[in-house]
Amino acid sequence: MNKNRLRRTMMFAPGNNPSMIQDAHIYGADSIMMDLEDSVALAQKDAARLLVYNALKSCNYGNTELVVRVNPLSTPYGMQDIEAVVRAGVHVVRMPKTETAQDVVECDEQITRVERECGREVGSTLIMAAIESALGVVNAYAIATASPRMMGIALGAEDYSANLKTNRSKEGIELLLARQTIVVAARAAGIDALDTVFSDLNDMEGFANEIKLIKQLGFDGKSVINPRQIPIVHNIFAPESQQIEKSLNIIRAMQEATAKGSGVISLKGKMIDRPVLLRAQRTIDLAIASGIISKDELYGYEVENNG
């Protein structure tokens, strides 16, 4: 499974809701996260696990990334969740309430065991960790680097705020340190950072403002709880025309250097290093995903400028 893909939106779908599980992919989220943890009552854990297992096995979700939030391994349900979803072919196991690197190591070990038992390629199932406490924030980098399976870390704001002995505010000032720490840890580890949900569906202006904030902080995307939130995130993450033009020029310079067999990439007399190149490629990926340019148009641009 590809770690390097766009994850602007990861939409929650309660694991005990058949219609949402079946239809979640039609709304255009980059990833679907089927939830077996907080949204499922204790009496429904087994039924939800079976529903998610069958959906993963039988539903056609196209190119949408499939994530399942399992219950913690410290509960009676966590091991059974991992057993079921890995056997069903899930792309990513999302760990809740991750506080230490050891939490990730233990999850990795169980996934490896199940992959071997069911014949899946070892290492093909990725891990994402939700950080929801002060201890988790303090250990963010250790968590982010605890397994080669790690594809991202995410903030869980409600539990984190409660752990801080405060309430979540509209401004989100109490989340700023955690957000910055998670982004820095993710960047240092070379993985993605996803922001927490925004639960007030009547405040789309506040939601949009929060997206602008987390984009500026460096997040790759946001967890969402309603299809109406998806286009807002995608629109705000879409690059501007000037960014696209600059990025196309950088990609063209890289292609020209490659064609000449040169390891040095320059544009208008300035050296282009790897981080700049990666940022340019992400801008192009976002532009294509946003429908601003097509792959055909990208090809035409390259041919015209290389000709």
Sequential pLDDT tens for the chain (307 residues): 567 789 999 999 999 999 999 999 999 999 999 999 999 999 999 999 999 999 999 999 999 999 999 999 999 999 999 999 999 999 999 999 999 999 999 999 999 999 999 999 999 999 999 999 999 999 999 999 999 999 999 999 999 999 999 999 988 999 999 999 999 999 999 999 999 999 999 999 999 999 999 999 999 999 999 999 999 999 999 988 888 888 888 877 777 777 776 666 766 667 777 777 778 888 888 888 888 887 765 554 443 333 3
DSSP string, the chain: --SSS--SEEEEEETT-HHHHHHGGGG--SEEEEESSTTS-GGGHHHHHHHHHHHHHH---TT-EEEEEPPPTTSSSHHHHHHHHHHHT-SEEEESS--SHHHHHHHHHHHHHHHHHHTPPTT-SEEEEEE-SHHHHHTHHHHHTS-TTEEEEEE-HHHHHHHTTS---SS-GGGHHHHHHHHHHHHHHT-EEEEPP---TT-HHHHHHHHHHHHHHT-SEEEESSGGGHHHHHHHHSPPHHHHHHHHHHHHHHHHHHHTT-S--EETTEE--HHHHHHHHHHHHHHHHTTSS-HHHHHHHHHHHH-
Q: What is the CA radius of gyration of the chain?
A: 20
Q: Identify the architecture of domain 9-237 in CATH.
A: Alpha-Beta Barrel (3.20)
Q: Where in the chain is the domain with CATH 3.20.20.60?
A: 9-237
pTM comes to 0.86
Tokens of 243: 């960014």
Please name which of 247, 217, 221 lies closest in space to residue 234, comparing C-alpha atoms.
Answer: 221
C-alpha distances in Å from residue 90, one per residue of 2, 6, 55, 157, 179: 13, 18, 10, 25, 27
Q: In this structure, are residues 28 and 235 in contact, taking their beta carbons and an 8 Å threshold?
A: no
C-alpha distances in Å from residue 113, one per residue of 69, 79, 92, 249, 255: 19, 11, 16, 46, 43
**Residue 303 confidence (pLDDT):** 30
Query: From CA 133, how far away is CA 125, in angstroms rounded?
Result: 25
**Residue 296 confidence (pLDDT):** 67
Q: How far is CA 178 from the centre of its chain?
A: 17
